[in-house]
Amino acid sequence: MRKLLFESLIRSPLTERPPCADEAALVELAGAVERAARRRLGRSLAIREIDAGSCNGCELEIHALNNAFYDIERFGIRFVASPRHADVLLVTGPVTKNMREALDRTYRATPDPKWVVAVGDCARDGGCFAGSYAVAGGVGAVLPVDLHIPGCPPPPAEILKGLLALLERAAEPEGAARA
């Protein structure tokens, strides 16, 4: 026991150092999303995340937006527990056949105006799971997708950039927005 305590005093921790915070860039990006949401919706942005069959790699990046490092709630961007409170459905993974109906019902439970954002390469066309007997396809095979954020998985800053692009497009006149 004494040996263990001594070793813990002289050894450096096994955990990795946190990445260098580019706080100014994050504040600018997340602040732009917040302002765009207020222009388009008149309030903060509510997001419902749906895992339609992902490996959870995309979820780790999405969850990071809520940790103490990114802390995007300070910009009025919230993840909500019910689609009935959501503006954006953030969908990850290929859509498995088991999740197809749940995804469709979640979409129908979300009030208008609503947007569907497909996150990650699998959400585009099934990615590395395409062709599996258990997979129905990308998110577009089940729902109308407004925006796709590429990456395997896309990092948090790319997800924020995608949300900003979505809100800026949504502020454009009808027709131009879904082009």
Interacting residues of 167 by C-beta distance below 8 A, sequence separation 6+: 33, 36, 37, 39, 40, 45
Does position 99 bind ligand SF4 by CB under 6 A?
no
From residue 28, give the alpha-carbon distance in Å to each of 1, 23, 142: 50, 9, 34
Kindly state the smallest distance separating residue 94's Cβ from ligand SF4, in Å: 7
Among 83, 93, 137, 138, binds ligand SF4 (CB under 6 A): 93
The one-character DSSP state at 149 is E
Minimum Å gap between C-beta 42 and ligand SF4 is: 33
Q: Which of 34, 49, 87, 121 binds ligand SF4 (CB under 6 A)?
A: 121
Backbone angles phi, psi at 92, to 5 degrees: -115, 160
Query: Should residue 54 be labelled a site residue for ligand SF4 when binding is judged by CB under 6 A?
Result: yes
Establish if 150 lies at the interface with ligand SF4 (CB under 6 A). Answer: no
Contacting residue, 57, 66, 109, 114, with ligand SF4 by CB under 6 A: 57
Residue with tokens 């070793």: 7
Distance in Å, CB of 128 to ligand SF4, minimum: 6
Least Å distance between CB 154 and ligand SF4? 8
Is-contact 66 158, C-beta < 8 A?
A: no
162 in contact with ligand SF4 (CB under 6 A): no
Instruction: Name the nearest CA neighbour of 153 among 120, 117, 123.
Output: 120
